[in-house]
Structure 1
Amino acid sequence: MKVMQLLPALNSGGVERGTLDLARMLIQAGHTSIVVSSGGTMVPKLESEGSRHFTLPIHKKSLSSLLQVRPLRQLIEWEAPDILHVRSRVPAWLTFLAWRKLDIQSRPRLISTAHGLYSINRYSAIMARSEQVIAISECVNDYLHDNYQAYLQRPPEVIYRGVDTEEFNPNISVPADWKANIEKEYPNLANKQWLLLPGRLTRWKGQEDFIELIQRLISKHHDIHGIILGGAEANKSHYEKELKQKVREKGIEGHLTFVGHRSDIRYWYKESRLVYNLSKRPEPFGRTVIESAAMGTPVIGYNIGGPAESLRVCFPQGLVEQNDAEALYNRSRELLKGPKQKASLAEDFTLKRQAEHTIEVYETMIKKSPGA
């Protein structure tokens, strides 16, 4: 097959990473992979792994983007892919407008992946108007049925995001000097059990709940240390200052550390006693849950949205009800007693299975008669 994926840009983020992961797996399976975006820092890696990239400005939420419909249609006609796979709303609109003018008997099959719980309006409805929608979780699937049923051509196919088990697995060895260097950089982490909350610094990610939890736990567990891993976006630096002020006011600076954004997160997962996902609103998926589970580290999280789906399979004893501070505290204490428990990654959350399932959807769609 020849597959063309379309997205706004290739810089960073879950959608971008998923695009590269699938492109690599397509190449490994003997298919042809093409990606269309406005460019970005991940393009060299994409091309080094065997895919081709075409740069088109299909990322702007502007009427001027309609000028890209014709060049995009010409590119599709020239490359003649079997599959067009759109992953974001602006590229989805431009691709749809280009695709619908193509010969119905020979045009590619149009697939979309709904990566989020989009705002409910006609602009977002484009993600449900493809010939086949892929939902990244049951949470997203339910959302599509509840809000975009009228646009769906057929039931969405649920394909969970997957972890690269070559990168994340419990048998990975932490470099000999890694922990020593971390403890040199952050002396308060030495000789402590680490409790880790990964995620960007934003109000609904649960950092405030985590700070309250650490304050309570240190009175009973003197050997723990809380770690908030993740940076603030450029326009959210005030929230980082607010969180650090909260830590100072509670007098727990020696028990909780902000380590910023890290590229070595798998080692932080492996060295932590517990990992937390405390998002206060439903997320479409919980990548930190499955990454931690892939490393064998137990996770505690609220029973809402996509992260809860992953937890039910990988570490169900880590589920607590949302906004129940007492349950969060008690579950943490239970899991801190005795030896460290092990989480396990289910096959449905592996990158290999994600790619296999996606290719199965492509093959099924290609076999259907044009216009069906």
Structure 2
Amino acid sequence: MTLSAPPAILQVLPSLVSGGVERGTLEIAEAQIAAGFRAFVASAGGPLVGSLEALGARHVTLPLDTKSPLGIWRNAEHLAAIARAEDIRILHARSRAPAWSALLAARRTGARLVTTYHGTYNEGLPGKRLYNSVMARGDRVIAISRFIAALVRDRHGVADDRLRIIPRGVDERYFDPAAVAPDRVGRLRAAWGIVPGRPVVMLPGRVTRWKGQSVLVEAMARLPHDAQALLVGDGGAKPAFQEELRDRIAALGLDGRVRLVGHASDVPAALLLADVVVHASTDAEAFGRTVIEAQAMERCVVASDLGGPTETVEDGVTGWRVPPGDPAALAAAIGRVLAMKPQDRATAGARARAAVLAGYTKARMQAATLAVYRELL
């Protein structure tokens, strides 16, 4: 590697299958390349590798999805070898087990370490705080919300000179109501069997207990019979919980009114089907990207009043917040939104999109992350 080569940055994460961390990795790789850096990503691979390489980044396949101490040690050796061979100046770790490998590799090579603290990271088991602490050991620690920044300060004592708050962002060109052709919405409406003329309540998100699908099911039993709800998201990893939801839907007499429709490949079109988009998580979200995606699509959002959405949903202005795990409060808020005149809902949706464009775009997230890299180079 010649001294004149552009600086190289290596992002490290378990895999490139799907999810917010993975999407963020591709978005930052895109920004690195546009800024003239050489972009590398190391992971165990997955369907998004092709999309990453199409951007011009290089992917290195390593078993970074392992949590075994021996596997972490071996991955550290591989990362160090890559760093030396490619003159990697910064390692950017996005998950705990790979971050331990990246930390060891950075120490062995003199590369700088950036970590992004993506979650609240449960500490229920002995030793978990130590295991989690690697995400606070970067030369710079990126928190994805003010909520996470406060957690990092309190839990790990990270000083402000190392801490940077960079909220997640949406691509405002992709999540734009004007960019979605009507036929895209029509195909989904037909595929999901949505009854015309009846209001649609939508909860997008992985089907798992803490995401609050059961809270919305209970809320729907309190709402007028013309309302229909769609639970949009992959539930393959939690088949028992899906069956539990279906049983409860039947017990409440909600068959036909509440449906699990599975994964949506066209999220912007799916969101345009909704009159109200619900975030019902019962545990604190580190950020809550689905909230700003819905707001960017000018949808009215009702969100749990905890974690990241307390920063992105201004109650009564860009959405509404309700106590988590409270079906009656959720039903009341949904009912109030559905009772609004269509033009009033449209005005609220426009305010929500304006707030996203002002503070939560992909371009802002990319620029702020590049600024962190430049601090260290």
TM-score (norm 2): 0.89
Decide whether aligned partners of structure 1 residues 350 and 68 sit closer, same or farther in structure 2, where only a CA change above 3 A counts.
same
Residues 310 and 160 (structure 1), Cα distance of their counterparts in 2 relative to 1, 3 Å cut: same
Identity, % of aligned pairs? 35
What is the Cα deviation at residue 153 of structure 1?
Answer: 8.3
Deviations 1:160-190 (A, max 9, x none): 11101121112123342x4443343343533
Equivalent of 1:197, from 199, 203, 213?
203
**What residue number does 1:145 align with?**
153
Partner of 1:28: 34
CA separation in 2, counterparts of 1:229 and 1:354? Answer: 26
Q: In the alignment, what sits opposite 2:359?
A: 348
- Kindly provide the CA deviation profile for residues 323-342 of structure 1, in whole angstroms up to 9, marking residues without a partner as x: 44443233222211211231
Q: How does 1:1-372 map to 2 (within 5 A)?
A: 1-65=7-71, 66-102=73-109, 107-120=110-123, 121-149=129-157, 154-176=161-183, 178-219=184-225, 222=226, 224-234=227-237, 236-312=238-314, 315-336=317-338, 337-339=340-342, 340-341=345-346, 342=349, 343-344=352-353, 345-366=356-377
Q: CA deviation at 1:64?
A: 2.2
Q: CA–CA distance in 1 between the matches of 2:209 and 2:130? A: 28
The 2-side partners of 1:189 and 1:37 are apart by: 43
| Residue ranges of structure 1 left out of the alignment (5+ in a row) | 367-372
Conservation of the 8 A alpha-carbon contact between 1:293 and 1:314:
no
Q: Is the 8 A contact 2:172 2:357 kept in 1?
A: no
RMSD: 1.9
CA contact (8 A) 2:16 2:22 kept: yes
Point out where structure 2 has 5 or more consecutive residues left out of the alignment: 1-6, 124-128
Shift of 1:281: 0.9
* Equivalent residues of 1:314, 1:346 under 8 A apart: no
CA drift at 1:348? 2.4
Q: Conserved in 1, the CA contact under 8 Å of 2:10 and 2:90?
A: yes
Sort the Cα spacing of 1:332 and 1:53 in 2 relative to 1 into closer, same or farther, 3 A.
Answer: same
Letter in 2 for 1:156: L
Structure 1 counterpart SS, 2:336 = helix
The code of the aligned residue for 1:126 comes to: V
Residues 257-278 of structure 1 show CA distances to partners (whole Å, capped at 9, x for unaligned) of 2211111121111121110000
Q: How many residues in Structure 1 have an aligned counterpart in Structure 2?
A: 356
How far is 1:312 from its partner?
2.6
Q: Per the alignment, in what secondary structure is the counterpart of residue 134 of structure 1?
A: strand
Deviations 1:204-254 (A, max 9, x none): 1111111122221125xx3x21111112133x2011111111111111212
